[in-house]
Structure 1
């Protein structure tokens, strides 16, 4: 019996012995094993490679044709330490975060975006006006909303004072221009918010200053008219002179009263006054001379008779001395009466002068009190005017100053590289998709169209024990 001609020849080296499975086939999971997957991939390797190349090519084409998007960034610093140019008050620490958040929201308001649209004339740009149908407000509002979709504004981390403004566009110059314009418009509006209220207050202050100036002028005129009407030149010095004169007159009146009392004492023959008179040099000289003459007369009387010429001569001298003493005492009495009359008249005149000067001082004091009222009104009006003028200067400084809380840290420049699409990310995702499709499509197809490609296909899916596994066999024919 001859062997068939087309049967493969199995050599002893390629034969594999039968190995009994360790786990019974009934407990084996029915899914694909690694050997099955590798056998499927090996069988469809050309298709998988073709799918991989096709997906990668499509990814490269999409990355090439995808519109480029450029993003420009502006960095602003908001100084919140002195945010009130009128009062210079510092912002409380607890409100710093909310203050910066408020500024971020203000930059995205229609007030800022509409100003950007008007300044850049974006309503005349076909790219921005494209798609407008007129059912969503005006064209300006529609373009502003379109800008807001590509605009991103956010605060720096950890309570930073920096605010970042980014804008994305298809052109680098356009992205930088819009970002810079948004920041500039916000800075200008922030400046207007800071100086606008002081400007309005400055106008009201100017009107009030005019009224206060009129009141000051009226008060000054009243003071001047009162001085002229009452002949007041320098009320302070004049009052001092009158008071000093009154004090002088009162002192002289006191002296006159003392002189009058002394004169009265002389005229009445007061013993104390007589003692003063007797103690005068003239009276003492005459009394001494009279005593000397009396002593000499006593000596002569012991030596001579009363009719002796020396005694008569001495008696004649004593009579002359007594006469001189009497004349001196009589002259003193006459002088005392005259001094009393003079002292009384002087006292009366000084008393009248003191009364007149006192009345003058009192009248002048009343005038000064009235003048002080006018001066008080003038000083009050001047003080109010001065305070208002200081406040006006401060408000004018705040309204006319060029201080702003917002400053540019860096302006946007036309970006060199596009932010979208991200080439490396696209290629990576395309490669993952290519690999997934290159493996997934053959595996999916194989699941619905199963074939026996390896030992596990028989054992796991058909439950057929494999006695031996052969490698690739070469076909040979016999003659």
Structure 2
């Protein structure tokens, strides 16, 4: 019985159950066919073997080579990065090289069919596809599994992937250390050349100026300049005193005072001696005149001697007065000579001060470069020590072993999946057949399909034959 209203109405559970019961043979047959096909396909699939290794991944919170600090909050991203590295093309390429996969007959055959580039890409993709990395949340242990056609291949490939990953990690670490070492070596070499250039300038300047140190001859020349200044002051004082004496003597002479009576002139030894002799002659002359008279030869001789002594005294006095002027001229010449010496010594001191300042500038530059060089050298030594310390951040907790049982195909899983698919297909086919070819199988079919009252039922309660 076909009814448009029935097709558009909802089916009750009793109707569905009646349809399934009526089509149970079809459903069972479908399940058997699907499960049988699944079993046949599973049996025809080649066996696969899986070998796995466990790797403990750790990292130092402080990286002395790259100068970076890691946080525990970055644990998940760091582990995901390690997983991506394991399944990277670089690791796959190292596996290819370590196992000499490009020399296999299968690869050579693929090269002939597809070309070398396509065959190589397929080989890399196949390696990455068969490599599985499992990481439990919150754990730093990675399980690296590889699935192959034979147990030996699975074990060898899994070990090769782990070794390639460890090698890549060490290569990255050593590359960073080598790069930093090269940078510091270049910087040290540049600083060393700069220090050598400054030292050469210092040596050349010392040779040109004669200064061995910035303080060489500085105190000696300064003291020499001070001594000359003191000598000049003393000469000027003597000159002023000599000029004053000469001026006083000249004024006394202008007043009519005999030169030998002037204290500054009479104090000379020869004049005092002549004055003593003159006084003695005058005393004797006075005594002789009082007793012998002016015409006596003794008196005449004493008068002549007195005149001679007076002439000698006048000459000595004039010589003494002239010597005062000569002292003034001599002191003036000495002052001029001291002024020339002071000027030359001052130029020498200023030149040495200028040379000292330039030498101090060179030495300051050299000290600054040496300080930077020593700091860089200490950093370089620490970098070398850090790069030479072998503290691996990877450890193989469990090496890949020869698997004892195949990992695929999954017979139980495939059969269960086939059973579920068969049941679903059988139910679907049964319902489709019932919906497109409706029959009266329950009371609900009559009540929903015909607008007539139901008088009664015959047979099982709630069902129609």
5 Å matches for 1:342-357?
A: 349=334, 352-353=337-338, 355-357=340-342
1:374 and 1:57 map into 2 onto residues whose CA distance is 101
Is the aligned partner of 1:240 residue 2:219? yes
- Match of 1:236, SS state, is coil
Q: 1:115 aligns with which of 78, 89, 94?
A: 94
Structure 1 stretch 143-152 or stretch 63-72: which is displaced more?
A: 63-72
Is the aligned partner of 1:145 residue 2:152? no
Q: 1:188 aligns with which of 170, 182, 192?
A: 170
Q: 1:169 aligns with which of 123, 147, 154?
A: 147
For residues 287-341 of structure 1, what are the alpha-carbon distances to aligned partners after superposition, in whole Å with 9 as ceiling and x for unaligned?
xxxxxxxxxxxxxxxxxxxxxxxxxxxxxxxxxxxxxxxxxxxxxx9xx999979
1:224 and 1:401 map into 2 onto residues whose CA distance is 43
2:379 and 2:354 map into 1 onto residues whose CA distance is 37
1:234 and 1:41 map into 2 onto residues whose CA distance is 113
Could you tell me whether the CA contact under 8 Å between 1:216 and 1:381 is conserved in 2? yes
1:108 and 1:48 map into 2 onto residues whose CA distance is 45
Is the aligned partner of 1:135 residue 2:124? no
Is the aligned partner of 1:67 residue 2:55? no
Is the aligned partner of 1:359 residue 2:344? yes
Could you tell me whether the CA contact under 8 Å between 2:95 and 2:161 is conserved in 1? no
For residues 373-414 of structure 1, what are the alpha-carbon distances to aligned partners after superposition, in whole Å with 9 as ceiling and x for unaligned?
467557646755764676577568658852899943876754
Give the CA deviation at 1:362: 1.9
Could you tell me whether the CA contact under 8 Å between 2:192 and 2:373 is conserved in 1? no
RMSD: 6.0
Q: TM-score, normalised by structure 2?
A: 0.54
Structure 1 stretch 368-377 or stretch 339-348: which is displaced more?
A: 339-348
Give the CA deviation at 1:161: 13
Could you tell me whether the CA contact under 8 Å between 1:55 and 1:434 is conserved in 2? yes
Give the CA deviation at 1:191: 2.7
- Match of 2:220, SS state, is helix
Could you tell me whether the CA contact under 8 Å between 1:223 and 1:371 is conserved in 2? no
Could you tell me whether the CA contact under 8 Å between 2:58 and 2:394 is conserved in 1? yes
Tell me, which stretches of 5 or more residues in structure 2 are unaligned?
252-262, 264-316
- Match of 2:117, SS state, is coil
Give the CA deviation at 1:254: 2.7
**What corresponds to 1:470 in structure 2?**
459
Give the CA deviation at 1:118: 1.5
Could you tell me whether the CA contact under 8 Å between 1:165 and 1:179 is conserved in 2? no
Give the length in aligned residue pairs. 376
Tell me, which stretches of 5 or more residues in structure 1 are unaligned?
1-24, 271-276, 278-332, 473-479
For residues 136-192 of structure 1, what are the alpha-carbon distances to aligned partners after superposition, in whole Å with 9 as ceiling and x for unaligned?
5175544223223345789999xx998979554235534642442353243234235
5 Å matches for 1:191-210?
A: 191=173, 193-198=175-180, 201=183, 208=190
1:70 and 1:180 map into 2 onto residues whose CA distance is 12
For residues 235-271 of structure 1, what are the alpha-carbon distances to aligned partners after superposition, in whole Å with 9 as ceiling and x for unaligned?
624121221232234234434544554566567389x
1:385 and 1:392 map into 2 onto residues whose CA distance is 10
Give the CA deviation at 1:28: 5.2
Could you tell me whether the CA contact under 8 Å between 1:249 and 1:353 is conserved in 2? yes
